[in-house]
Structure 1
Amino acid sequence: MHATTIQQAIQQLKESIFVRVRHRALLQYIEAPSVDETQLFFLLLPSLNGELWHDELQESATTVGIVQASLFEHDKIKEKDATSKEQQLTVLSGDYYSGRYYEILARAGNIALIQKLAQGIVERCEQEIVAYEDTYRTMEQWVDSLCLIETAIIRKFYEAHSFSKYSAVMMHALTIQRLQNEMYTLRGHAPTAVGRAMENCFGQQELTHLLTVAIETQQKLLTDELATLQLSEAVQQFIWQIVKVETR
């Protein structure tokens, strides 16, 4: 397994997602669906690590990618302006992608995965709602929320297909990536709703320190998990590249 092979697998899954949700009218007004390649990598992690992988699993991974695309489209909506044609079509595209994933799984009779993904969507949305509540939360609570937002859908996919041994590595890596993004936006870029809520809790200077500590803690936890989970060298290097840390 080489980095090139990993990237090819990700691109193949990405194209499969695009084919399933491509809609001519939507593409006239809005961009192609947003698909996070890091999320796709972790969807494919069991396959990339040599687990038995068949067409049904690839189909399941594709539908989970569609779910993620749906959620990303809704995340694009401006908080105070959803009246333009572009904004309205972005909402519709998210709904359209949701309908496509339900249709694919229902046609395949994969009710168990539908149930798991529904649970993951609820968990994710509950944590996003927290950002709009005017209550104080500790940094540990914020990290837990960000972890759930970033990982709930893939974790449910793992549970549905008995791949839960990969959950801890996935969760730490994606949490690091999200914390790094929050740090980036804190330094003068457009903040997320969660980022604004965290800054309201702690102030910019204290939040910068807390994010730094949280990233270092998650990196240590990821290192420990990778030491116990047998992954190929190429896969481990790919994970460290994702979280922008040199290979241990």
Structure 2
Amino acid sequence: MATSMDYLNEDIKKIKADFYEVIQHPYLRRYLQDPIIDHDQVILLYYLLRRKEFDFSYIKNSVLSTVLVQTALNVHETVSVTPWRSETVKRQRQLTVLSGDYYSSLYYYVLAKVDDVPFIRVLSRSIQEINEAKMNVYEGGTDQLQTLKDIRAIESLLIRNVAVFYHSEQWAQPLEEFFYFKVLLNTRYHWIERNHETPLTASLLTRKGQKRNELSFALEKEIEASKVKLHSFSYEWIPIREYILSRVDELLTEHGVVQDFVVEEG
């Protein structure tokens, strides 16, 4: 007999398969790799909608359209602004921009087919709000707290707005914190492994000229604080709690952070 987890895995596979089927375009595929989607976002969106007892067709269209929006935002984020030095680079950049526009148009197409105008508005507003947050971060001029707030918005505002739209406001804070936790881990990796500074690392600096090991420590303290917060939430639904907390442990292990905390806590 199939378990609920078997059904979940099959549903997720179907949604992801449909995503890659929908985005297929022979010209783009010739020059660009398929985008990578965030498995956690797919799972959490699925849980959110399943909790509301929607049928699978509705869940699939809603998750698919949200992931298409996220993919479009991610793709546009990769477009370089440095001067191009060859026609090949120029074409690659143009195609990247067009692919992001293409993915964005597809979410509208998916929802228009089922006449879900209210959800189209939610996703459209989310795109606008995320782009405004990105402008604040990259233009600078805001204080540290506002920068951190904008970074949180960039990473989680889409799924937060979806949660609120479906009257699951109690999910908003845990979802925001979880995706902030993920960006903290990725930022730590890029800083320690590649010495690559981001707006997040810059916002965590307390003064100019801070040493490398001090910034690494600041990131790890921020990760630990986020982990503690994720454990402190009173989750409205046990499966969502179990998923998020298990992923926290997995991600800490993947990024090699667990031992650091064990030593510190001991």
CA displacement at 1:35 relative to structure 2: 1.1
- RMSD across aligned positions (CA): 2.8
Mapped pair 1:229 → 2:236? yes
Alpha-carbon offset, residue 189 of structure 1: 2.1
- Which ranges in structure 1 are unaligned for 5 or more consecutive residues? none
Q: Which structure would you say has the larger Rg? A: 2
Question: 1:2 Cα deviation (Å)?
Answer: 7.3
After TM superposition, the structure 1 stretch with the greater mean CA deviation from structure 2, 116-125 or 186-195, is: 186-195
Deviation of the 1:34 alpha carbon: 2.6
User: In structure 2, do the counterparts of structure 1 residues 228 and 2 end up closer, same or farther at CA, with 3 Å as the change threshold?
Assistant: same
Alignment of 1:136-215 (within 5 A): 137-138=143-144, 140-189=145-194, 191=196, 193-195=198-200, 197-198=202-203, 202=207, 203=210, 204-215=212-223
Tell me the residue number matched to 2:130.
Answer: 124
How far, CA to CA, are the matches of 1:106 and 1:200 in structure 2? Answer: 45
* Counterpart in the other structure of 2:41: 39
Instruction: Name the CA shift for 1:194/1:236 in 2 (closer, same or farther; >3 Å).
Output: closer
User: 1:8-157 alignment to 2 at 5 Å?
Assistant: 8-47=10-49, 50-54=51-55, 55-81=57-83, 83-135=89-141, 137-138=143-144, 140-157=145-162
1:163-211 CA deviation, whole Å, 9 max, x = no partner? 3322222111111010111111111427365246437774444433332
TM-score (normalised: structure 1): 0.84
The two structures have a TM-score, normalised by structure 2, of: 0.79
* Gaps in structure 2 of 5+ consecutive residues: 259-266
Give distance in 1, aligned partners of 2:245 and 2:226. 17
Higher RCO, 1 vs 2 (CA within 8 Å, ≥6 residues apart): 1
Q: Equivalent of 1:217, from 213, 222, 225?
A: 225
Q: Deviations over 1:88-109 (max 9, x none)?
A: 1111000011111112222322
Give SS of 1:131's match: helix
Cα shift readout 1:107-156 (whole Å, capped 9, x = no counterpart):
32222112111221122112212232243622x43332221111111112
Per-residue deviation, 1:236: 4.7
CA contact (8 A) 2:181 2:223 kept: yes
